[in-house]
């Protein structure tokens, strides 16, 4: 609002509307106080105080109306005088021009106004937005989101201490699957576990499933969010396979020991170490890696893996975890438990009696030095066990590696060394004579029979087979590492730059075969992500050709580098069975025809049909080609072998042969006749 400005020359009577000279202050007619009227620099705006006085003067007039007399004083009463609207001065002239019609008042029902506070009540029994979580209704949390981030998608399991859920981490892209553990805390031991979980949140170790987050429900239940390891459990590996190779067992046990050692260093115990919570994952380099999960989650509930002090109800220590690792190690070596009984009491009695059957009595390739290490880990008294988990892991690893190294550098000409041949090394063998001899050897050891008397007739046979196998391996091992150059006349499908992506296990199938096992250690990143475990035996005059786009490329070629027979394996994304894979296979068939037509001269598609491979339903296409200048015919099959689980890698197996093979006359003969028949007959899916 602007202030009054200008020199007053006239004053106005607001009542009679007459102007008077500036030297008058009251109207001579009615005695009303005069107001500034005309100035030299007249402005439309007027002094706010003057206008306020004008309004007051226009609405009220002081009349001399004596109410009572108190000596010389008189009390005057203000009396309101009704005036016309035109007689009242407005505060601001501009306001009149800008006035708009008033909006009607909105009527609001006070009962419909939302409360500014949450509904009162006990959140442990009346949480906001959902029904309360209880031990009787654990699935009530499915579909709910914790901390605005972890959306629970499935209920996995429960025990006396906790409930386990699968959840999506909503802030990661792509969504990451995590595990949510919700706890029921009742006593002091539960508080100790909670304190250890706080310590676990600060640990980052390659062999420990990391703790991502923690919090509490409205009901007061604590929860933690833990990494969900990708891969099979150690329990699955033990149950689905035959004897696991000693070198693999050595790596697995040492990595578990390293995980325990790191946890113990931070005053964290596992208390429930079993093959079920040990995962075999593949790291970013494609190497198999152990992940131990469920640290500080609950007390153990399987007596077969519990230490004596845990069965007796005493407090667990780091020695308790070492005992559990000793049980798992024994099981890895022998596929049986060291102390197996129906009740905790019976298990405890067996533990007190000590280990009666050592691993070397159940498996002939286990050195006796391992027996002493296992017995120390399984000692009844905690003080008699290893002081540190890593001490046990390193000692066990070094003993196995040393024994395996010695067995590879020595031949078995001396009959006393015949125990270097193992039942595990021929578990895929189709040689019935060799398999029978090894089974007899195992049975003799298990029954503690006199080996010298029972096995004496077999020793020359076993020694001769071992000698021939090692000799064949020694002859061809340098070739595997020799740089491969592609001949102009060679027929190699999907061949790219040489890369050592295959792992060869030097195990005898017969005196004319070598053993191949597809392992993830040396695969490229793409192959490791789509890894499938398979094995087969192949003729010992064949060679492995490194190829970074294939799991394996094994072939027999002539001196000019032209394949006589060739076997190649790669992958495709499978939905778990042949029926669901049909649309994918149809697309792959078209792509295969286009690609093979570019790679092979005079390519011809012959047929396609359902088939069987490695005991599984598969789909097969046959093709032929002709290299006229070399008078060379090429025959081939491509097999599409679905996976056993949805969204897992299936296998594409390509088999080709040329007219250089005297046994192959058509595409149907490939893999049925000729030397490749050995590969097809012994091919085995291991996972």
**Average pLDDT score over the chain:** 76
**200-209, 360-369, 490-499, 599-608: segment of lowest average pLDDT:** 490-499
| pLDDT tens string 643-657 | 877 778 999 999 999
**107-116, 377-386, 433-442, 606-615: segment of lowest average pLDDT:** 433-442
Cα(631)–Cα(332) distance, integer angstroms: 54
Q: Which fold has domain 483-685?
A: Protein Transport Mog1p; Chain A (3.40.1000)
| pLDDT tens string 219-268 | 888 898 999 888 899 999 998 766 888 999 999 999 999 999 999 998 88
* pLDDT for 186: 59
* pLDDT for 464: 39
Q: Using the predicted structure, report yes or no on whether residue 399 has a pLDDT greater than 70.
A: yes
Q: Which fold has domain 247-408?
A: Transferase(Phosphotransferase); domain 1 (1.10.510)
Q: For domain 138-227, give its CATH number from 3.30.200.20, 1.10.3720.10, 3.40.91.10, 3.40.190.10.
A: 3.30.200.20
| pLDDT tens string 153-199 | 999 888 778 899 999 999 988 888 999 999 886 555 666 777 787 88
Q: Using the predicted structure, report yes or no on whether residue 433 has a pLDDT greater than 50.
A: no
Element (H, E) at 418: none
What DSSP state is assigned to residue 69?
Answer: E
Q: Using the predicted structure, report yes or no on whether residue 440 has a pLDDT greater than 50.
A: no
Q: Are 209 and 227 in contact (CB under 8 A)?
A: yes
Strands 69-70 and 73-74, how do they pair? antiparallel
* pLDDT for 639: 95
247-408 and 483-685: identical CATH topology:
no
* pLDDT for 173: 87
* pLDDT for 502: 41
* pLDDT for 74: 45
Element (H, E) at 553: strand 552-557
* pLDDT for 597: 87
Going 626 to 627 to 633 to 638, the CA torsion angle's sign is: negative
* pLDDT for 113: 61
Cα(228)–Cα(277) distance, integer angstroms: 11
Confidence band for 540, pLDDT divided at 50, 70 and 90: confident
Element (H, E) at 297: none
Q: Are 531 and 282 in contact (CB under 8 A)?
A: yes
**114-118, 433-437, 496-500: segment of lowest average pLDDT:** 496-500
Confidence band for 117, pLDDT divided at 50, 70 and 90: low
Domain spans, the chain: 8-95, 138-227, 247-408, 415-477, 483-685
From residue 44, how far is each of 1, 38, 92, 100, 140 by CA, in Å? 11, 11, 8, 21, 74
Q: Using the predicted structure, report yes or no on whether residue 561 has a pLDDT greater than 50.
A: yes
Least Cα distance to 609 among 668, 656, 538 occurs for 668
Higher local confidence (pLDDT), 44 or 616: 616
* pLDDT for 8: 58
């Amino acid at each position: 609002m602007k202030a009054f400005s200008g020199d007053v020359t006239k004053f106005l009577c607001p009542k009679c509307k007459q102007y008077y000279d500036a030297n008058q202050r009251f109207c001579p007619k009615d005695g009303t106080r005069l107001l500034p009227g005309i100035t030299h620099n007249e402005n439309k705006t007027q002094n706010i105080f003057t206008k306020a006085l004008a309004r007051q003067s226009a609405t009220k007039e002081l009349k001399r109306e004596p109410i009572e007399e108190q000596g010389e004083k008189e009390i005057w009463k203000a009396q309101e005088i009704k005036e016309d609207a035109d007689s009242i001065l407005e505060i601001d002239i501009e306001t009149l021009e800008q006035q708009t019609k008033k909006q009607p008042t909105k009527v609001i029902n006070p009962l419909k106004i939302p409360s500014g506070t949450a509904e009162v009540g006990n959140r442990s029994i009346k949480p906001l937005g959902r029904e309360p979580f209880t031990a009787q209704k654990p699935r009530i949390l499915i579909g709910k989101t914790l901390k605005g981030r972890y959306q629970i998608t499935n209920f996995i399991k429960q025990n006396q201490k906790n409930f386990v859920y699968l959840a999506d981490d909503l802030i990661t892209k792509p969504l990451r699957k995590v595990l949510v553990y919700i706890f029921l805390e009742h006593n002091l031991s539960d508080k100790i576990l909670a304190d250890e979980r706080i310590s676990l949140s600060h640990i980052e170790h390659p062999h420990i499933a990391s703790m991502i987050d923690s919090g509490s429900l409205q009901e007061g239940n604590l929860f933690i969010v833990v990494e969900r390891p990708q891969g099979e459990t150690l329990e699955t590996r033990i149950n689905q396979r035959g004897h696991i190779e000693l070198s693999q067992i050595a790596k697995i046990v040492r990595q578990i020991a390293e995980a325990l050692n790191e946890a113990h260093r931070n005053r964290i115990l596992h208390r429930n170490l079993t093959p079920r919570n040990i995962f075999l994952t593949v790291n970013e380099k494609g190497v198999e890696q152990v992940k131990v999960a469920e640290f500080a989650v609950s007390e153990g509930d399987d007596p077969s893996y519990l230490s004596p002090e845990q069965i007796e109800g005493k407090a667990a220590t780091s020695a308790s975890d070492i005992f559990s690792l000793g049980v798992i190690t024994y099981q890895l070596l022998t596929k049986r438990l060291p102390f197996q009984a129906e009740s905790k009491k019976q298990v405890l009695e067996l533990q007190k009696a000590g280990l009666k059957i050592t691993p070397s009595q159940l498996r002939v390739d286990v050195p006796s030095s391992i027996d002493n290490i296992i017995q120390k880990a399984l000692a009844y008294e905690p003080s008699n066990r290893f002081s540190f988990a890593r001490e046990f892991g390193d000692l066990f690893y070094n003993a196995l590696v040393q024994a395996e190294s010695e067995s590879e550098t020595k031949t078995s000409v001396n009959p006393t060394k015949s125990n270097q041949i193992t039942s595990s090394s021929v578990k895929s063998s189709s040689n019935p004579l060799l398999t029978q001899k090894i089974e007899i050897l195992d049975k003799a050891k298990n029954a503690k029979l006199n080996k010298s008397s029972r096995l004496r007739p077999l020793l020359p046979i076993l020694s001769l087979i071992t000698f021939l196998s090692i000799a064949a391996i020694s002859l061809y091992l340098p070739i595997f590492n020799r740089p491969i150059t592609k001949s102009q006349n060679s027929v190699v499908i999907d061949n790219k730059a040489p890369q050592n992506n295959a792992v060869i296990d030097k195990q005898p199938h017969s005196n004319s075969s070598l053993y191949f096992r597809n392992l993830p250690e040396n695969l490229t990143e793409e192959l490791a992500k789509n890894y499938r475990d398979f094995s087969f035996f192949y003729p010992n005059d064949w060679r492995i050709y490194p190829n970074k786009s294939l799991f394996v490329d094994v072939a027999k070629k002539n001196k000019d580098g032209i394949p006589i027979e060739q076997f190649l394996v790669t992958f495709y994304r499978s939905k778990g069975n042949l029926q669901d894979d049909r649309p994918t296979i149809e697309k792959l068939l078209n792509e295969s025809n286009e690609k093979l037509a570019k790679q092979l001269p005079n390519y011809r598609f012959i047929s396609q049909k359902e088939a069987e491979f490695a005991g599984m339903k598969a789909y097969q296409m046959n093709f032929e080609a002709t290299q006229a200048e070399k008078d060379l015919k090429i025959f081939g099959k491509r097999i599409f072998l679905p996976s056993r689980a949805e969204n897992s890698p299936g296998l594409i197996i390509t088999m080709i042969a040329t007219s250089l093979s005297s046994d192959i006359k058509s595409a149907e003969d490939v893999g049925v006749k000729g030397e490749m028949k050995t590969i097809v007959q012994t091919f085995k899916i291991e996972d």
